[in-house]
Amino acid sequence: MSTDVKATNFELREGPNGIKLPIYMDNHATTPVDPRVLEEMLPYFTDKFGNAASRNHAFGWTAEEAVESARERIAKLVGATTKEIIFTSGATESDNLAIKGVAEMYREKGNHIITAVTEHKAVLDTCKRLEKYGYRVTYLPVQKDGLVDLDDLKRSMDDKTILVTIMAANNEIGVLQPWTDIGKLCHERGVIFHTDATQAVGKVPIDVIKQNIDLMSISAHKMYGPKGVGALYVRRKNPRVQISPIIDGGGHERGMRSGTLNVPGIAGLGKACAIASEEMPKESCQLAGLRNRLRGRITGRLDEVYINGSMDHRLPGNLNISFAYVEGESLLMGINDIAVSSGSACTSATLEPSYVLKALGTGDDLAHSSIRFGIGRFNTEAEVDYVADRVCETVERLRELSPLYEMAKEGVDLKNVKWAAE
Amino acid sequence: MAYSDKVLDHYSNPRNVGSLDKASPNVGTGLVGAPECGDVMKLQIKVNPETNIIEDAKFKTFGCGSAIASSSLATEWVKGKTVDEALAIKNTEIVKELSLPPVKIHCSVLAEDAIRAAIHDWKKKQGVAAEVPEGSRASH
């Protein structure tokens, strides 16, 4: 970084009403490690540092015990059995393992994979790579509310379809897909159903059996666990799902994922799941309450704000709003004591706004104007109020600066303006 | 991403925000960019017809912080210059002044375009304005 560029200041400072600034409200990007999780992890760095694969001494047994206890806690949270949980380095690896693993294992059966355009890049780019190796991939569109149309899904299945991979909850708009129905459709046709549940695990109830899920990607750091650890659920019964490994080596994790296990990370993921099992019902109500408060305070004060994605099928802590006539990055700049994300991609070389919002049919102009709020376990009502006020003030100020807002107020229909291309 | 102090200053205290009467014969209006691209700049100049000096300039911008800063700076720079001097302003000078990173160079290009478009509009009006009074004189 050059010297004339200001480095971001990470030191917390006092804000009004006892809040600390900057406020973190980007919990879809990552979450802080819960202190209870950290406490669980710490011994496994130092005293209990053994390799879980060491079978002939106490160091190894202790580590293995920690791993197996974590496996139980994860399995319990999602309704699986312990043998169905495979540890990985995170959800990106889990997505790769699930999709590439099925593609290789079931190549004789077929070469067709179905996914959706709003998936995470870990799924989309994995599918794109498989296309290079002769697989056929259908990228389903989504409806205006972000949901996949089940009839579309049904129509796109054929006798060569081996896998459907549709995420549980979207990382930008928080929209929850109809997993149970998708899984049912898949099972009726003998197709494997994988879901990237990175954003959903620990936030909304999941039961892999009831919801007909065959493979499910899990990440620790989106649920108050550490970064660099995750898991893949692999169904063992009705149907038994088999996957080829993508990492070869010592044959850990039933041969599906070689590599010495990240014991402290796994212990942390286990604890994060145990906490979620206990606290999810209360926490999801609290998060939805805060989210609705934020939404109410913003929509009560500003005109021409648009919610992106279904409000009925949505993660409790997610809000994604477009503020018409204001560009997202300039809005982020104005609320620089608040950490949120923008769907505008003014910082990227392509200048392409969010592909997820575009898939909903949101115009590029509104996609550029969008902000994603991710409310999490440690956010408070005072923080929500502060965020709402700062966002509204900044939008008002930037609209005063916006030629588009001026034109709209003068009654100009912006759609009919002939914009000079650069 | 991090911004230079000058970009932050223009963003927090933009100079010459507002609008001039676009119907006035002495005012030139430039509207460049497109909402789909995430940047729209409106830059207006008021020119003294005797001296061709830009006496006032105003802007409004929809865009990122660098776009706002580029157009704010453009209004500062054109003020007091003759139309021809203003036409000589290059986007590279804006890049240098604001320490814009490579991904933000398009903001400076847009600001240069806005200056040119405003001057073009004013010049067009001068052509029209010169004809209309003559025409009305001829009718007497």
How far is A372 from A287, CA to CA, in rounded Å? 15
Q: Which residue in chain B has the smallest CA separation from A350? A: B103
* Whether B35 and A8 lie within 8 Å, measured CB to CB: no
Q: In terms of domains, do A315 and A254 share one?
A: no
Q: Establish if B138 belongs to a structural domain.
A: no
Q: Establish if A91 belongs to a structural domain.
A: yes
Q: In terms of domains, do A152 and A288 share one?
A: no
Q: How high does pLDDT run on average in chain B?
A: 90
Q: Establish if B134 belongs to a structural domain.
A: no
Phi-psi region of A90 (alpha: psi -120 to 50; beta: other; left: phi over 0): left
Q: Establish if A10 belongs to a structural domain.
A: no
What is the per-residue pLDDT for A351? 61
Q: Which residue in chain A has the smallest CA separation from B39? A: A327
User: What is the H or E stretch that residue A338 is in?
Assistant: strand A338-339
B64-102 residues labelled b (16+ CB within 10 A) or e (exposed): bbbbbbbbbbbbebbbebebeebeebebeebbebbbbbe
How far is A95 from A285, CA to CA, in rounded Å? 29
Q: Give the CATH number, domain containing residue A345.
A: 3.90.1150.10
Q: Establish if B135 belongs to a structural domain.
A: no
Alpha helices in chain B (DSSP H): 5-12, 65-78, 83-87, 91-98, 105-139
* Whether A364 and B60 lie within 8 Å, measured CB to CB: no
How far is A174 from A248, CA to CA, in rounded Å? 35
End-of-domain residue from the set A247, A275, A303 = A275
* Chain B hits for A5, Cβ within 8 Å: 2-4, 99
Q: What number of C-beta contacts closer than 8 Å exist between A and B?
A: 109
Q: In terms of domains, do A88 and A234 share one?
A: yes
Neighbours of A135 (CB within 10 A): 21
What is the per-residue pLDDT for B128? 67
How far is A397 from B65, CA to CA, in rounded Å? 13
**Residues paired with A165 in a beta bridge:** A194
How far is A381 from A286, CA to CA, in rounded Å? 10
How far is A93 from A364, CA to CA, in rounded Å? 31
Q: In terms of domains, do A76 and A146 share one?
A: yes
Q: Establish if A9 belongs to a structural domain.
A: no
Provide the domain limits for residue B64.
5-126
* Chain B hits for A333, Cβ within 8 Å: 3, 8, 11, 64-65
**Residue A220 and residue A230 in contact, taking contact as beta carbons nearer than 8 Å:** yes
Q: Which one is catalytic: A127, A186, A273, A346?
A: A346
Q: Establish if B15 belongs to a structural domain.
A: yes
pTM score, two decimals?
A: 0.91
Q: Establish if A5 belongs to a structural domain.
A: no
Q: Establish if B26 belongs to a structural domain.
A: yes
pLDDT, tens digit only, all 422 positions of chain A: 344 444 555 688 999 989 999 999 999 999 999 999 999 999 999 999 999 999 999 999 999 999 999 999 999 999 999 999 999 999 999 999 999 999 999 999 999 999 999 999 999 999 999 999 999 999 999 999 999 999 999 999 999 999 999 999 999 999 999 999 999 999 999 999 999 999 999 999 999 999 999 999 999 999 999 999 999 999 999 999 999 999 999 999 999 999 999 999 999 999 999 999 999 999 999 999 999 999 999 999 999 999 999 999 999 999 999 999 999 999 999 999 999 998 775 544 456 789 999 999 988 889 989 999 999 999 999 999 999 999 999 999 999 999 999 999 999 998 888 886 54
Count of domains for chain B: 1
Q: In terms of domains, do A181 and A263 share one?
A: yes
Q: In terms of domains, do A204 and A323 share one?
A: no
Rounded mean pLDDT of B72-87?
97
Helices (H), strands (E): how many in chain A?
A: 12, 15
Provide the domain limits for residue A28.
17-32+280-411
The answer to whether the complex's ipTM is over 0.90 is no
Q: In terms of domains, do A237 and A337 share one?
A: no
User: What is the H or E stretch that residue A348 is in?
Assistant: none
* Whether A414 and B1 lie within 8 Å, measured CB to CB: no
Only one residue has tokens 């970064």, namely: A227
Q: In terms of domains, do A330 and A398 share one?
A: yes
Q: Establish if B81 belongs to a structural domain.
A: yes
* Chain B hits for A403, Cβ within 8 Å: 31, 40-42, 60-62
| Structure-derived torsion over alpha carbons of residues B99, B101, A396, B19, reported in degrees to the nearest 10 | 60
How far is A172 from A235, CA to CA, in rounded Å? 28
Q: Which of A304, A350, A358, A419 to mutate to test the interface with B (most CBs of B within 10 A)?
A: A419
End-of-domain residue from the set A230, A249, A275 = A275
pLDDT tens track for B95-114: 999 999 998 999 999 999 99
What is the per-residue pLDDT for A346? 52
Q: Establish if B131 belongs to a structural domain.
A: no
Q: Give the CATH number, domain containing residue A213.
A: 3.40.640.10
Q: Establish if A2 belongs to a structural domain.
A: no
Nearest CB to A349; choose among B37, B63, B103: B103
Q: In terms of domains, do A301 and A212 share one?
A: no
For A342, the 3-state DSSP assignment is: strand
Q: In terms of domains, do A293 and A380 share one?
A: yes
* Chain B hits for A2, Cβ within 8 Å: 99
How far is A405 from A403, CA to CA, in rounded Å? 6
pLDDT > 70? residue B131: no
Q: Give the CATH number, domain containing residue B62.
A: 3.90.1010.10
End-of-domain residue from the set A221, A247, A275 = A275
Q: In terms of domains, do A304 and A395 share one?
A: yes
Q: In terms of domains, do A146 and A118 share one?
A: yes
A→B interface, C-beta within 8 Å? 1-2, 4-8, 325-327, 329-330, 333-334, 344, 346-349, 351, 353, 363-365, 368, 400-406, 414, 419-422
Q: Establish if B12 belongs to a structural domain.
A: yes
Q: Which of A401, A402, A404, A418 to mutate to test the interface with B (most CBs of B within 10 A)?
A: A401
Count of domains for chain A: 2
pLDDT tens track for B121-130: 999 999 866 5
* Whether B68 and A401 lie within 8 Å, measured CB to CB: yes
